[in-house]
């Protein structure tokens, strides 16, 4: 039995080290969900680079498992350097199989230079990339679109934000969906949704993220994912106040910002903040 907080810290550090040593397929495959119905609501998750579909996938995973949504991860880029893109694509396939997500891409080898600098300095390249995403949005007609917030502090993440917003603006005014902005490298400045994550889902997110260990990220992000989810729960308790005024005592959570796109512009999705607790239907935050 643990006797001191020093022992707690030592065991926590030991867990991080042990997680790094587990093979990517540790624990085998998760139970595969039943295929989504043909008329199931659609969610698209824009992954700026391979791995984002797992690190930011908590809400998408619950939508698919608990509410029967059809979730597709979209590889916006396949990371750098170019000679590793085939292996990253294979790893992303394996991660999406673990989570039960579909997988698509905006270009067979991923888009290039999806950054704010490209948007500013190479408008011809940018317009081509925007058109590729707009075509996908027209075809998929998603009910929810996940993508990073503008200040996510990684050039591909912030670039993907502006790519998504420009693609939305290029569509006709009748296109409508909920926008769910994600965070990873830098926190959202005004989150309005906290999604509690159970240990089983967290384990599957870690297992999926492990498929990307070291590629393209130099550090094993999967090993620290539970700690990040725990810190999110701490932040969410103060930053997202549910309508009943009491945040749940959640151990693991992910923060998002939800807005509505309709008539060619942004609208608030709801007043105040919301918690999506374990046991609630995953799409309840849209009501």
Q: List pLDDT tens digits, range 86-122.
A: 888 899 999 999 999 999 999 988 899 999 999 999 9
**Mean of the pLDDT values across residues 19-35?**
70
Closest CA to 145 of 68, 228, 69, 233: 69
| pLDDT of 153 higher than 60 | yes
**Mean of the pLDDT values across residues 3-18?**
86
Over residues 229-284, the pLDDT tens digits come to 999 999 999 999 877 677 788 999 999 999 999 999 999 999 889 999 999 999 99
Residue pointed to by tokens 């998408």: 60
Rounded distance between C-alpha atoms, residue 92 and residue 109, angstroms: 13
Rounded distance between C-alpha atoms, residue 91 and residue 88, angstroms: 5
What rounded mean pLDDT belongs to the chain?
A: 90
Rounded distance between C-alpha atoms, residue 284 and residue 147, angstroms: 20
Give residue 277's pLDDT.
93
Going by C-beta distance under 8 Å and a sequence separation of 6 or more, which residues neighbour residue 67? 41, 281, 282, 283
The half-sphere exposure of 210 on its side-chain side, counting CA atoms within 13 A, is 22
Alpha carbon distances (Å) from 74 to 22, 24, 180, 230, 232: 27, 22, 15, 27, 25
**Mean of the pLDDT values across residues 54-78?**
95
Higher pLDDT, 6 or 259: 259
Closest CA to 48 of 223, 194, 182, 143: 182
Residue pointed to by tokens 């492990």: 210
Closest CA to 105 of 39, 257, 282, 114: 114
Give residue 88's pLDDT.
87
**Mean of the pLDDT values across residues 62-90?**
90
Residue 73: is it exposed, middle or buried by C-beta count within 10 angstroms (0-12/13-18/19+)? Answer: buried
| pLDDT of 185 higher than 90 | yes
Going by C-beta distance under 8 Å and a sequence separation of 6 or more, which residues neighbour residue 14? none
Residue pointed to by tokens 């081509």: 128
Tokens found for residue 81: 């350097």
Confidence category of residue 217, pLDDT binned at 50, 70, 90: low
**Mean of the pLDDT values across residues 215-228?**
76
Class of domain 38-194+256-270: alpha beta
């Amino acid at each position: 039995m643990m006797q001191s907080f020093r022992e707690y810290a030592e065991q926590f550090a030991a867990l991080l080290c042990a997680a790094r040593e587990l093979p990517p397929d540790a624990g085998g495959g998760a139970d595969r969900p039943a295929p989504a119905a043909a008329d199931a609501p659609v969610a698209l998750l824009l992954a700026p680079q391979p791995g984002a579909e797992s690190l930011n996938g908590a809400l998408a995973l619950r939508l698919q498992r608990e509410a029967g949504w059809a979730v597709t991860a979209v590889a916006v880029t396949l990371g750098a350097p170019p000679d590793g893109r085939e292996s990253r694509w294979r790893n992303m396939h394996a991660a999406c199989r673990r989570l039960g997500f579909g997988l698509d891409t905006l270009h067979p080898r991923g888009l290039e230079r999806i950054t704010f600098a490209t948007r500013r300095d190479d408008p011809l390249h940018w317009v081509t990339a925007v058109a590729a995403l707009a075509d996908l949005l027209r075809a998929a007609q998603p009910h929810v679109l996940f993508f990073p917030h503008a200040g996510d502090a990684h050039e591909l993440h912030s670039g993907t934000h502006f790519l998504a917003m420009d693609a939305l603006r290029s569509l006709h005014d009748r296109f409508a969906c909920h926008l769910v902005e994600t965070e990873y490298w830098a926190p959202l400045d005004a989150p309005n949704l906290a999604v509690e994550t159970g240990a089983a889902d967290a384990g599957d997110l870690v297992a999926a993220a492990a498929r990307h260990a070291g590629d393209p990220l130099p550090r094993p992000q999967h090993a620290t994912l539970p700690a990040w989810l725990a810190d999110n729960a701490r932040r969410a308790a103060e930053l997202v106040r549910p309508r009943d005024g009491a945040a749940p005592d959640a151990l693991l959570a992910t923060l998002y910002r939800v807005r509505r796109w309709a008539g060619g512009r942004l609208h608030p999705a709801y007043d105040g903040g919301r918690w999506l607790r374990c046991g609630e239907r995953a799409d309840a935050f849209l009501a």
